């Protein structure tokens, strides 16, 4: 929709994702998959190109500079410091919020819920899509209850077969195996003519903000669910994970795709037991396979994968019982984090509301010394970001 070549973007996205995941697998040794962020590419297309009237080359240039800045921040340890400054109760709340968020994504993707005039409303659940979704969901939950390994994958495969029978999806009509399209139409098309403009600064800041806190939120939530945080609530090798993310973004911009970020869907691999870079390596290999067998993978219907997201959403919210709700100065910020992620359709906004409320409540209840100075700095940054449009 931004005017970029479909096939070229498909291939460049796979290449950038694979490079980032190889860094995550061998350098960070963590089970986090990476690819072009869905919220970030929506901002790329609908805001920067279609609303602001900028070229896709301009947007790619902003993504490229974002990646460079992230590489510098990763080397300096700034992003890791931000990650470590998030209070432990908020980290647990992020996991819960992500659970609700990805369940919401799943329900929206298959039309079980739809945007209404005032808020979300129930969609059509009695059609073939709804039938496949609920069958997939039942299979996944039952197999999980019986401790069957690969319960989500079995659910996807069986519901895909049912989808073929019902006509929800169909077998590929083209060649099953084909060479990936060339990246030539979009690769190395950066436009440096407006580097020092106010528009570039505004777009760059937006990319930076959303990516920083989407990535930190995903790492926090998935690592919390996987019990990978140490006794201080920090993630070992977090700096290496963030560096892998930055490498993916920089290379992706050069090759012609939007911001590469750690995927919240990584939680599905963690839910199945993934704890090391081997999980990410296998994901990277399958991305390469998908480049040559795209017609085969394209038959998997949205209801099948949506059911997997809803099931993983359940796995993610279980950390809610570990949040301290006896102290309202801890409970309310956690509540706001959980509430705002699905309602704003953004991990970053959930973290913003959580951090602001955490800093203000602790300060005004005389518990300000319990809070890291970096939390106050971040809260101030979030507040300024919300106030800027007023001025």
Domain positions in the chain:
6-316
Residues lower than pLDDT 50 in the chain: none
What angle, 0 to 180 degrees and rounded to 10, lies between the N-to-C axes of helices 198-225 and 56-76? 50
pTM for this predicted structure: 0.75
What pLDDT is attached to residue 227? 81
What pLDDT is attached to residue 222? 82
What pLDDT is attached to residue 391? 52
Which tokens go with 227?
């019990």
Nearest to 129 by CA among 311, 304, 298: 304
- In the 8-state DSSP scheme, what is residue 169? S
What pLDDT is attached to residue 340? 93
What angle, 0 to 180 degrees and rounded to 10, lies between the N-to-C axes of helices 78-85 and 373-387? 100
CA 166 to the chain's CA centroid: 31
Nearest to 63 by CA among 200, 259, 197: 259
Nearest to 94 by CA among 229, 204, 236: 229
**Which helix (H) or strand (E) covers residue 34, if one does?**
strand 34-36
What pLDDT is attached to residue 285? 97
What pLDDT is attached to residue 319? 82
What pLDDT is attached to residue 33? 94
Which tokens go with 122?
């129930």
Distances, alpha carbon 276 to alpha carbons 32, 53, 110, 273, 298, in Å: 9, 43, 31, 9, 28
Q: For all residues of the chain together, what is the average pLDDT?
A: 88
């Amino acid at each position: 929709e931004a005017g970029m070549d479909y096939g070229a973007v498909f291939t460049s996205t796979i290449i950038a994702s694979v490079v980032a995941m190889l860094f995550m697998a061998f350098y960070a040794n963590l089970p986090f998959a990476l690819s072009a962020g869905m919220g970030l590419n929506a901002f790329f297309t609908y805001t920067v190109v279609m609303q602001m009237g900028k070229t896709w080359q301009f947007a790619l240039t902003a993504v490229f500079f974002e990646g460079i800045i992230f590489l510098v921040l990763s080397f300096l340890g700034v992003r890791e410091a931000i990650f470590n400054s998030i209070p432990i109760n908020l980290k647990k709340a992020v996991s819960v919020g992500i659970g609700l968020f990805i369940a919401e994504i799943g329900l929206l993707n298959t039309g079980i819920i739809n945007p209404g005039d005032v808020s979300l409303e129930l969609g059509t659940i009695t059609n073939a899509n709804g039938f496949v979704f609920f069958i997939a969901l039942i299979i996944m939950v039952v197999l999980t209850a019986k401790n069957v390994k690969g319960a989500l994958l079995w659910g996807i495969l069986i519901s895909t077969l049912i989808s073929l029978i019902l006509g929800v999806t169909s077998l590929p009509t083209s060649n099953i195996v084909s060479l990936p399209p060339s990246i030539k139409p979009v690769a190395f098309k950066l436009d440096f003519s407006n580097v020092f403009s106010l528009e570039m600064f505004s777009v760059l800041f937006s990319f930076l903000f959303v990516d920083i806190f989407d990535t930190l939120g995903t790492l926090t939530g998935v690592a919390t669910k996987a019990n990978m945080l140490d006794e201080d609530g920090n993630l070992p090798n977090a700096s290496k994970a963030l560096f892998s993310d930055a490498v993916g973004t920089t290379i992706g911009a050069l090759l012609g795709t939007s911001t590469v970020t750690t995927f919240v869907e990584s939680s599905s691999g963690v839910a199945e037991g993934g704890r090391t870079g081997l999980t990410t390596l296998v994901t990277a290999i399958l991305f390469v396979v998908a480049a040559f067998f795209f017609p085969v993978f394209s038959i998997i219907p949205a209801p099948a994968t949506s059911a997997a997201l809803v099931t993983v959403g359940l796995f993610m919210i279980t950390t809610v019982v570990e949040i301290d709700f006896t102290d309202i100065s801890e409970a309310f910020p956690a509540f706001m984090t959980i509430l705002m992620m699905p309602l704003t359709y953004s991990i970053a906004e959930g973290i913003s509301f959580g951090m602001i409320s955490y800093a203000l409540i602790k300060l005004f209840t005389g518990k300000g010394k319990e809070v890291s100075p970096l939390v106050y700095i971040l809260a101030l940054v979030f507040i300024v970001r919300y106030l800027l449009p007023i001025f």
